[in-house]
Amino acid sequence: MEASEDYTTLFDQYLRGELDKAKVIEFENRLETDEHFLQQFNLHKETLEGIDQHFDEMLKSKLKVIEQEISHPTATSRPWVWWAIAAAVTLLLVSTFLLYAPRESIDDTFQAFYEPYPNIVNPSSRSLHSQSESWSVAYDARDYAFAMLAIEKELLLSPDSVDLLFYHGQAAMATNQLSKASGQLQVVLNRDSSRYTGPAIWYLSLIEFKQGRNEATKKYLDRLISGHSDYEDKAKELYAIINK
């Protein structure tokens, strides 16, 4: 991973979805294991939010000037002030769009489509291990961090449980651990005739989409459109957004 002086470029590339899959996995693993790296990343995001706010304030200021010019025009101001104001506002809008719109657009679209999968595990079919109920209760309560830990304990005893693997991936996704979620959902997807095949493909498409990998997203969406009617409409809708 890059030295500290290169963190800004690395952070920007991650936020814009410009890193390849291997680097995303490496980046997210480091966020989970390197406290200093996580602090630097959070500071970087806070700085970007401050810049964003600054752009907003500047834009409001320019718009106020326009309003004043409209209300109190002068003969000397008309020819060049309008051009200067228009150029300044255009520059601010373009700069803001280039810096933030792609990431915000991806995040907003992701949130519009994403909802953690409901807990459909029948209590009578759950493991009899003591942790099985605690992960289920935590998951239903949307305490995904606790649910994830409880499922990990269960997986030590039942490593081949498709239910546990799927919901471990769901809990990881809900806590924004996308590389871990992707790994578990891929395992589920490789199981033949799993009741979670369609959902796994859908959530994998969302993970790829959030990370800006549109071609990989489309491949998953194609599978849903051609073979999973429950997700066909949503897949087509997301596909249309990507192709805009």
In a domain, 87, yes or no: yes
Q: Are residues 174 and 227 in the same domain?
A: yes
Q: Are residues 78 and 134 in the same domain?
A: no
Q: Are residues 225 and 187 in the same domain?
A: yes
Q: Are residues 41 and 92 in the same domain?
A: yes
In a domain, 55, yes or no: yes
- What is the predicted pLDDT for the residue at 66? 54
State pLDDT tens for residues 94-139.
Answer: 445 444 445 558 888 899 999 999 998 865 444 444 445 689 999 9
Q: Note down the domain range covering 86.
A: 4-102
Instruction: Supply the CATH number for residue 173's domain.
Output: 1.25.40.10
In a domain, 112, yes or no: no
Structure-block tokens of residue 16? 């814009």
This prediction has a pTM of: 0.58
Structure-block tokens of residue 143? 């305490």
Q: Are residues 234 and 174 in the same domain?
A: yes
CB count, 10 Å around CB of 152? 14
d(CA 181, CA 206): 11
Contact call for residues 188 and 165 (beta carbons, < 8 A): yes
In a domain, 10, yes or no: yes
Q: How many domains does the chain have?
A: 2
Between 144 and 194, whose confidence is greater? 144
In a domain, 225, yes or no: yes
pLDDT at 90 over 70: no
Sign of the four-CA dihedral 12, 24, 106, 138 = negative
Q: Are residues 160 and 200 in the same domain?
A: yes
d(CA 19, CA 211): 8
In a domain, 37, yes or no: yes
Which of 132-141, 215-224, 227-236 has the lowest average pLDDT?
132-141
Helix count and strand count (H, E) for the chain: 11, 0
